[in-house]
Amino acid sequence: MSLLKIKLSFSGGIELLFDNIKQKSVEISSSINSPNPTTMKDLISWMKDNLLKERPELFVSGDTVRPGILVLINDSDWELEGELEYEIKDGDDIVFISTLHGG
Amino acid sequence: MGRLCVICDKERAIIKRPKTSQQLCRECFYYVFETEIHNAIVDNKLFKKGDRVAIAASGGKDSTVLAHVMKLLNERYQYGLELFLLSIDEGITGYRDDSLETVKRNQQQYDLPLKIVSYSELYGWSMDQIVKEVGLKNNCTFCGVFRRQALDRGAVMLNVDHIVTGHNADDIAETVLMNILRGDIARLQRCTEICTTGDECIRRSKPFKYTYEKEIVMYAYFKKLDYFSTECIYSPNSYRGHARTFLKDLETIRPSAIIDIIHSGEAFEIKKEVKLPIQGVCKRCGYMSSNELCKACVLLEGLNRGLPKLGIGKTHRMRKIHGDMPQDTAIIPHFNNIKIDDNENNNVIIDESNKSKEKL
């Protein structure tokens, strides 16, 4: 097991659920769910337990993010990267953007 | 990983389009996004050369992207439009004052004249004061009714022919759902129109009618556009919130749901026997209304008489108890008496809210 250093960013209003922090570097285990490699699904659940400050239902829905929250992995739509199945790599840059806030 | 863009077949795809499932690279996405909006504008003949067009700007994602795209398309395709930013200051401390700062930055970035019209100036009440009076239950009704009229009044001051708003496909699908749920047939018929116009009223249109929210947000993200995103401090607005959550759940299962709902809304045909309200003008302020008095006038009368429920519940019964409006009650100035701004001021920020403060 090793540690993965990743960068998380929050915008579009979702930062309010994370103590109003827009960017955060975190270290997580490369196999939270040992022996399997850590995936986006593990990361979301880890974020819910370790980073989320309030109203978890506004961030997660079941084992994924709430519909209306966009996720980008290294500046690419996570729908192209395998979504929950994506295996986190060291140095990944993951962005969460809420689309649910006023226009 | 690293799938290629299905259009250019060269660059790495960065977005999966919700409408078509196409995988596109950044440049091809920009091109498709902008061109679809251009097509919506041209196919629906929204503008004529020389039109003066106000972009309703809140500082949020939709109107920020709208201002960016309108300016870009106007130059790229030579629409020949004169563009303005029009913002409404509802008077919500900690929300609108911050978002107006974003609009002021946009004004610099896009080099467009900006006009700000405030509720205090138009109605004599800010939203902060209204909430103190009415509480958090019906405040969104006041805000929505007042904003609609404020935009039209601001547009007259700017002497524009047309207002464009940032309503996107998700917003419209949500409104279709809400009108069905409320049985509001008259609005159900109107809400999918890309362009609406009353008899003497300024045209209003929605160039983003077919544009998904996801793409607007992705566009703003990749283009690093400067927008403001905080929920209004007074808006639980749960009915719309439920409709939105429902719609987003549907979109997750089947992304075309949004465009399909809009299509269903367009296809509704209302039976000839169904009575629809007849549009006239408010006898007090001259604004379009299907009743003798427009909603804004009744709501304002309620505020000024200390009867905030006057325009919310049973207006007739309230009038029976409390009588007609006393002569000296403040009303909204008549629509026909709105003064058009001097043209010379068009390149500066015309901030009426500050003007009225100076007067004090």
Residue B65 lies in a domain: yes
H-helix or E-strand containing B28? helix B26-43
Q: Which residue positions of B form the known binding site? A: 56-58, 62, 88, 166, 171
Contact status of A11 with chain B (Cβ, < 8 Å)? yes
| Number of domains comprising chain A | 1
| Chain B: closest CA distance from residue A66 (Å) | 9
Whole-angstrom distance, CA of residue B319 vs CA of residue B307: 10
Q: Which SS3 state, helix, strand or coil, does residue B15 take?
A: strand
Query: What confidence category does residue A43 fall into, taking pLDDT thresholds of 50, 70 and 90?
Result: very high
Residue B311 lies in a domain: no
* Band of pLDDT at residue B350, cut at 50, 70 and 90: low
Structure tokens at B275: 């009575």
Nearest-neighbour CA in chain B from A103: distance (Å): 4
Higher pLDDT, B2 or A7: A7
Asked whether residue B300 is assigned to any structural domain, the reply reads no
Are A102 and B232 inside 8 Å of each other by CB?
yes
Give the integer Cα–Cα distance in Å for B81 and B266.
Answer: 29
Asked if the structure places residue A54 within a domain, the reply is: yes
Q: Please check whether residue A68 lies inside any domain of the structure.
A: yes
For residue B110, what is the enclosing H or E element?
helix B96-110
d(CA B138, CA B149): 18
Query: Which residues have a Cβ under 8 Å from the Cβ of B261 and sit 6 or more positions away?
Result: B173, B176, B177, B247
pLDDT of B360 strictly over 50: no
CB contact under 8 A, B244 and A100: yes
Mean pLDDT of chain A: 92
Torsional class of A68: left (φ above 0), alpha (ψ -120 to 50), beta (otherwise): left
Q: Is residue B327 part of a domain?
A: no
CATH number of the CATH domain containing B47: 3.40.50.620
Chain A environment of B208 (Cβ under 8 Å): none
Instruction: List the structure tokens of B238.
Output: 């749960």
Does the pLDDT of residue B197 top 80, yes or no? no
Integer Cα distance of B114 and A84 in angstroms: 44
State the pTM of this model.
0.91
Residue B263 forms part of a structural domain:
yes
Q: Are the beta carbons of A70 and B218 separated by less than 8 Å? A: yes
Residue B70 lies in a domain: yes
Answer whether residue B148 is part of any domain: yes
pLDDT of residue B241: 80
Using CA coordinates, name the residue in chain B closest to A65: B252
Cis preceding-peptide flag for A35 (omega within 30 of 0): yes
The token pair that represents B326 in the structure block: 């006393």
Looking only at the bridges linking them, the beta strands covering B195-196 and B203-205 are antiparallel
Give the model's pLDDT for residue B296.
95
pLDDT above 50 for B356: no
Give the closest of B1, B58, B230 to A103, CB-based: B58
With a cut of 70, say whether residue B248 has pLDDT above it.
yes
Option in A67, A95, A103 nearest B249 (CB): A67
Between residues B244 and B316, the one the model is more confident about: B244
> How many residues are given for chain A?
103
Q: Is residue B220 part of a domain?
A: yes
Note whether residue A36 is domain-resident. Answer: yes
Contact between residue B210 and residue B170 where contact means Cβ atoms under 8 Å apart: no
The answer to the question of residue A103 being in a domain is: no
Query: pLDDT at position B359, please?
Result: 37
**Rounded Cα gap, residues A10 and B4, in angstroms:** 27
Kindly state the average pLDDT of the residues B26-36: 98
The residues, ordered by sequence, that sit 6+ positions from B104 with a Cβ below 8 Å of its Cβ are: B114, B349
The dihedral formed by the CA atoms of B18, B19, B20 and B23, expressed in degrees to the nearest 10: -30
CATH code for position A77: 3.10.20.30
Q: What is the pLDDT of residues B261-281, one digit of tens each?
A: 999 999 988 888 888 788 889
Reported ipTM: 0.94
Chain A contact for B165 (CB, 8 A cutoff): no
B203: containing domain: 27-274+335-359
d(C-alpha B115, C-alpha B122), whole Å: 14
Q: What is the average pLDDT across B180-192?
A: 87
pLDDT at A101: 64
Whether B324 contacts chain A with CB within 8 A: no
Contact B14 A77 (CB under 8 A): yes
What mean pLDDT comes out for the span B251-258?
93
Burial tier of B137 (Cβ tally within 10 Å: 0-12, 13-18, 19+): exposed
B265 vs B122: CA distance, rounded Å: 34
Q: How far apart are CA B229 and CA A54, in angstroms?
A: 18
pLDDT for res B69? 98
Round the CA-based radius of gyration of chain A to a whole number and report it: 13
CB-CB neighbors (< 8 A) of A99 in chain B: 61, 170, 213-214, 217
- Structurally, chain B folds into a number of domains equal to 1
* CB atoms closer than 10 angstroms to residue B135: 11
| Mean pLDDT, residues B161-177 taken together | 95
pLDDT of residue A102: 53
pLDDT tens for each residue of B207-242: 999 999 999 999 999 999 989 887 777 866 667 788
For residue range B36-51, what is the model confidence (pLDDT) as tens digits?
999 999 999 999 999 9
A37 touches chain B (CB under 8 A): no
The answer, yes or no, to whether residue B55 has pLDDT greater than 50, is yes
- The residue range of the domain holding A62 is 3-98
Tell how strand B288-289 and strand B280-281 pair up.
antiparallel
Pick the residue from chain A with its C-alpha nearest to B220: A12
Pairwise CA distance, residues B83 & B67, whole Å: 9
A26 shares contact with chain B (CB less than 8 Å)? no
